[in-house]
Structure 1
Amino acid sequence: MRWVSRAMAASVLSWLILLAGWSGSAAARDHRQNAPGAFDFYVLSLSWSPSFCASAAERGNTSRSQQAQCGGRPFAFVVHGLWPQYEHGFPGYCERPAPRLDRRIMSSMLDLMPAPGLIYSEWDKHGTCSGLGARAYFETVRKARAAVKVPAEFLDLEAPKSIAPDAIEEAFIKDNPGLSHSAIAVICDRTRLSEVRICMNKDLQFRACEEIDRRACRRDQVVLPPMRGG
């Protein structure tokens, strides 16, 4: 029994040492958690607006965000957001409460992000983690979008298009020098293209991002619904 007790004690001690080590590493990972400006790179998320609108219609979503984006204007790719990222994971809501976003800044972004609610929520969740003021953050969003050329085949889609996710990546890579397969991920739902996510460093140069790439769509084909009015 004494031998068993000593064995159990050794086992418990080992477990406690392991737990302490895990807690220490977790604390190290959390040291900058949600600290504004303390991140590794950005993800520019470009949403295929017709897919968003199709999904919203199927759900019976009549929110203001849905109405703003899915009205008569023929949107194609729109900016979902510019998201600060860690190499593993990402920060969010880095200032609570978030500094109030000036309505004039919101209005200035409607050409890229065609829903006021989206702009406000992106500022609260992601913009506050950039370490930038609201005006500088949305100027960075605009610069990031300008750094990416959307292939011509996606600019005026008049009929549904079925395409392999790899072919979407290839089209973006062909039109954007320096972009590689390790820096872009195509995201889908059960049938449709949802988003194209492109990784950039803080200087808005393309860079690899393995964790984002691992979340990419694995389907053989995805459908792009046509632009509204198409």
Structure 2
Amino acid sequence: MHKSLLAISSILLLGASSYAVRAADLFPQGEHTNFDTYVLALSWQPGFCQSKGYSPAECPNLRNGEGELDALTIHGLWPSLPESLNISVGNWHKKGCNAVYNPQTERNYPSATKPWCNSKPVDMSPAFHQGLVKYMPGIKEPTCLHQYEYAKHGVCFGFKPEDYFGAMISLNRDLRNSPVGKFMKDNYGEEVNTADFKQVIVDTYGEDVSRNAVQLICTPTKKGLALTEIRLALRASEINTTLAYTSFNTDQSEVSGGSSNCGKSFTLIKYREDNKSQRVD
């Protein structure tokens, strides 16, 4: 199903107020549109916070949603190396848009360096920005994850920021609403068998998707491995469609299910109910 142009992609409820996040379909512009894959990186936020020792600003008093799947948040959406760029894949992963020449400034696009909040501001409406926090808590100061992600992966493709981040929101919601999301919700705070999790992916999207286009990333804790991130390899040509088997690019090298490091089991760490800290180990 194709997503309607300028349609309301999601309604975000924040306290007593609601915000409609509108986004047009996402299309790259300019010279380097010849890439075939996007990697959608989604964080399991409580696991991420534990892996970082709860120092990032978005971790203390983090819970800002109503349900278990608010823990499944956005990290980024990363185009693969365009064929028109004569650089190595490793250099592309390291530099991103900083490896691309900007004809308007007659120099390469600026690198995304810390502190990220000092990067060029991302042009989005206050309502969109406030709504995005629910899905991407790292946009809060002093982290400003959205400024880093756009500077490294978005600006050189001419993406309108609201379209770029709106696509991430839509895909995040698709996964939340899928059987994979239901499995995560049903096992919130529990240890799960990695094989069982992958089987849900197989049943939902196909065996080749689970094997070649979905990567699970885990981090050791005192209680064993904890899920911190899920990466999905998506066809660039299908980025504006509802997440389905045809969305995934199983013939790519950006993501490999065989490189997942989650062992035989991992925990879907939950937020603390007292909301004082996300530390659970």
Query: As a proportion of its length, which structure holds more strand?
Result: 2
Q: Report the Cα offset of residue 139 of structure 1.
A: 2.5
**Equivalent runs, 1:142-221 vs 2, <5 Å:** 142-148=169-175, 149=178, 150-155=180-185, 157-164=187-194, 166-176=195-205, 179-190=209-220, 191-202=225-236, 203-204=238-239, 205-208=247-250, 209-213=252-256, 214-217=258-261, 219-221=263-265
Post-superposition shift, 1:157?
A: 4.4
Deviation at 1:184, TM superposition (A): 0.9
Larger Rg: 1
Alignment pair present for 1:93 and 2:97: yes
For 1:38 and 1:195, how far apart are their aligned partners in 2? 27
Deviation at 1:199, TM superposition (A): 0.8
What secondary structure, in the 3-state scheme, does the structure 2 residue paired with 1:81 have?
Answer: strand
Check the 8 A contact 1:123/1:134 in 2, yes or no.
yes
What aligned pairs does 1:33-182 form with structure 2 within 5 A after superposition? Answer: 37-56=33-52, 59=53, 61=55, 63-67=56-60, 70-71=62-63, 73=65, 75-86=70-81, 88-89=89-90, 90-91=92-93, 92-94=96-98, 95-96=109-110, 100-104=121-125, 105-116=128-139, 117-148=144-175, 149=178, 150-155=180-185, 157-164=187-194, 166-176=195-205, 179-182=209-212
Unpaired segments ≥5 residues, structure 2: 1-30, 83-88, 99-108, 112-118, 240-246, 275-281
Say how many residue pairs are matched.
191
132-141 vs 151-160, greater mean Cα deviation: 151-160
Deviations for 1:104-149, whole angstroms, at most 9, x for unmatched residues?
A: 2433322221231222222122222444222221222233334432
Aligned-partner Cα distance in 2 for 1:136–1:71: 26
Query: Are the counterparts in 1 of residues 54 and 60 from structure 2 also a CA contact under 8 Å?
Result: no
Distance in 2 separating the partners of 1:37 and 1:99:
23
**Greater fraction of residues in helix:** 1
- The separation in 1 between residues aligned to 2:204 and 2:226, in whole angstroms, is 23
In the superposition, the TM-score normalised over structure 1's length comes to 0.68
Distance 1:141 1:130 in 2: 16
Conserved 8 A contact 2:41-2:230: yes
**How far apart are residue 186 of structure 1 and its match?**
1.0
